[in-house]
Structure 1
Amino acid sequence: MREGLHVLGSEDLEDFLVLTALDPVVNCFADYRARTTRLDPRWLGGEVWGRYDGGRLTAACHLGANLVPIQASADDARAFAERAVRRPRSVSTLVGPQAAVRAFWDVAAATWEAPRDERWDQPHLELIGEPLVEPDPEVRVTTKADLETLYPACVAMYSEEVGVSPERGGSSALYRARVTQLVSRGWSFARFEDDRVVFKAEVACVSPAAAQIQGVWVPPDRRGEGLATRGMAAVARLVVPELAPSLSLYVNEWNEPARRAYEACGFRQTATFSTLMF
């Protein structure tokens, strides 16, 4: 009978999916990663740790480019942090439910360098059912023919949101490949006007419970026109039920215009996330 903290593998997939199902929309990313990699470190590009109590998996931690506590109590998060600080920091982002991230950071802060950005209060939002506004009929699934117009908008969104360009350090090929992948999957949506993107959004990951949205963006000179509200309604119509039964996302607490747009569309807060970027 397993006890304590272990690296999970494919043989633990069923137990892991039972764990993520305890809060399936909040755990959308973890569920998606598990199903697509089967918890095989070769495909994960990292590891997933699990904490057992009486032979039952009670908490987990995804450790790749993102470190994500999963169903972790404060005690679980501290245990994961104590293991994480024994190795050089490899993650670029620590993200997840606020209480778990805070408990993890209470331990890791003494060893890891200070984050370049800390976002402690990020409402996690869900849209269940029909949006409250009419969808924008001009928002559509993008195609490979849109890439040259779409890609600069993706770079602008990332740079504004994350605070650094995704092309820094010669990473443009990797970022372009990621955008191309999303387009190829049918996970990229946009409204174009005169060969210009005026609204865009993407699906980041999909589970049986939800599709998590990322990269929502309207150019600064077009904000305040309702493009995001009606655009998100259109994304909901395009995604549900084709990809998943509901939408989720998380937003910075200080981004009042975005929060108003999501609320007008019908999104409601169900949790609070925190993100630390290194």
Structure 2
Amino acid sequence: MARTAAKAAPWSASPEPARASSGPLRVLAHEDTAELQRLVARDPIANIYLAAHLEQHGTAAPVILGTQILGYDDGGLRAACWVGANVIPAGVDEATAPAFGEYLAASGRRHASIYGSAAAVLGIFAEMERRGVPAKEVRANQPLLAISSEPLIEPDRRLRPSRMSEFDQILPAAVAMFEEEVGYSPYSGGEEFYRRRVASLIRNGHSLSSLDECGEVIFKADLGVLSRQASQVQGVWLRPEDRGRGLSAGYMAAVVQLARKQAPVVSLYVNDYNARARASYERVGFEQIGSYATVLF
């Protein structure tokens, strides 16, 4: 489905995180790390982004310029949200979502998206929308899938970790994937930032691809988030002229095999209306374990 280019949000952007309002919300600090780890561990696959962050940095305190982890604390840490270019909730429920939505609406910051567990995302956005923050698109039902065993079908052995020497071939495929999925160019947030992101995935062995004899990308996928327990596959893309030929399932089976060398569970989320992709993932052995939602701004 064609999508229009993203329009600038009517509220102002800010490189600095806003302060938490009074009440149960506060910016988490290093001393909150153990409590945040316990919260994230309740659902380590759905909360994989924060799980990976904690494993990498070992702290709930802000470590990246312009980002913070916001906690809902009413005598104990009940819920949290990563707040940066994207907003990613953990443990947010019907009772705590409005507080996060109020904070985000009042902060004056522009975020690219909110994504994560559907009830949390939709609850937060409902409050933001009530306070006048519009969305470009709401994807309310994105099945969260996972597999913790070998794939059910034979993997396509042509898939392998991408090489830095292939960066100039991988980058256009990554851009095409992003534009198809989100509806605007990833360069809108800065070309150099996105180039570094793609290069980092390749350098760390988290970009997987298959190239033809002319060096053109046929298929690509990324291990976009990786913790000790799970990976989250992102950026799945098959060259348009190869679609409809039954190739994607074999490639996804290969993604599972390669990803499980780094973490035992492989997860991803998919738009509910993407019947072809869902059928392919089911053939490979993915099963639904939850529901995500994404709000694009």
**1:69 paired to 2:89:** yes
CA distance in 2, matches of 1:145, 1:208: 28
* AA aligned opposite 1:183: I
Match of 2:171 among 118, 130, 151: 151
**Partner SS state of residue 249, structure 2:** helix
- CA offsets, 1:116-167, max 9 Å, x none? 1211111111011111111111100011011111111111111101100112
User: What TM-score do you get using the length of structure 1 for normalisation?
Assistant: 0.93
Q: Are residue 270 (structure 1) and residue 283 (structure 2) matched?
A: no
Asked if 1:190 corresponds to 2:209, the answer is yes
**Equivalent residue letter for 1:142:** S
The 5-angstrom pairing of residues 85-104 of structure 1 reads: 85-104=105-124
Distance 1:168 1:64, change over 3 A: closer
Separation in structure 2 between the aligned mates of residue 63 and residue 75 of structure 1, nearest angstrom:
19
How far apart, in 2, do the equivalents of 1:274 and 1:224 lie? 27
Could you tell me how far apart the structure 1 residues matched to 2:37 and 2:132 are?
30
Query: Structure 2-normalised TM-score?
Result: 0.88
Q: Secondary structure of the equivalent of 1:85? A: helix
Q: Which amino acid aligns with 1:30?
A: L
Q: Which residue of structure 2 lines up, in the alignment, with residue 32 of structure 1? A: 52
Residue in structure 2 matched with residue 43 of structure 1 by the alignment? 64
> Which is worse superposed, 99-108 or 181-190?
99-108
Moved over 6 A (4+): none
Equivalents in 2 of 1:179, 1:112: separation in Å? 35
- Cα deviation for residue 79 of structure 1 reads 1.5
Which residue pairs with 2:36 in the alignment?
16
Deviation at 1:44, TM superposition (A): 6.0
Tell me, yes or no, if the aligned pair for 1:89 and 1:112 is still in contact at 8 Å: no
Once structures 1 and 2 are overlaid, which stretch shifts more, 95-104 or 185-194? Answer: 95-104
Contact 1:69 1:77 in 2 (8 A): no
Aligned CA RMSD, in angstroms, stands at: 1.5
1:256 aligned onto 2:275: yes
**TM-superposed deviation, 1:90:** 2.7
The amino acid of 1:272's aligned partner reads S
What is the CA–CA distance in structure 2 between the aligned matches of 1:75 and 1:82, rounded to whole Å? 13
Q: Report % sequence identity.
A: 37
**Aligned residues between the structures:** 273
> Distance in 1 between the 2:245 and 2:197 partners?
29
Matched AA of 2:169: T
The answer as to 2:247 corresponding to 1:227 is: yes
Residue of structure 1 in register with 2:130 after alignment: 110
TM superposition shift of 1:5? 2.3
Q: Distance in 1 between matches of 2:110 and 2:145?
A: 29
Cα distance in 1, alignment partners of residues 282 and 106 from structure 2: 42
Cα offsets for 1:81-107 (capped at 9, x unmatched): 122222103311011111111211221
Give a deviation string over 1:43-94, Cα, whole Å, max 9, x none. 263111112243x222111111111221111111111112222210331101
Q: Which secondary structure does the structure 2 equivalent of 1:109 belong to?
A: helix
Amino acid in the other structure paired with 2:143: P
Q: 2:265 — aligned with what?
A: 246
Distance 1:217 1:126, change over 3 A: same
Determine helix, strand or coil for the equivalent of 2:186: coil
> What secondary structure is seen at the aligned counterpart in 1 of 2:202?
helix
Q: Which runs of 5+ in 1 are unaligned?
A: none
Q: Give the equivalent residue in structure 1 for 2:19.
A: none
SS at match of 2:97: helix
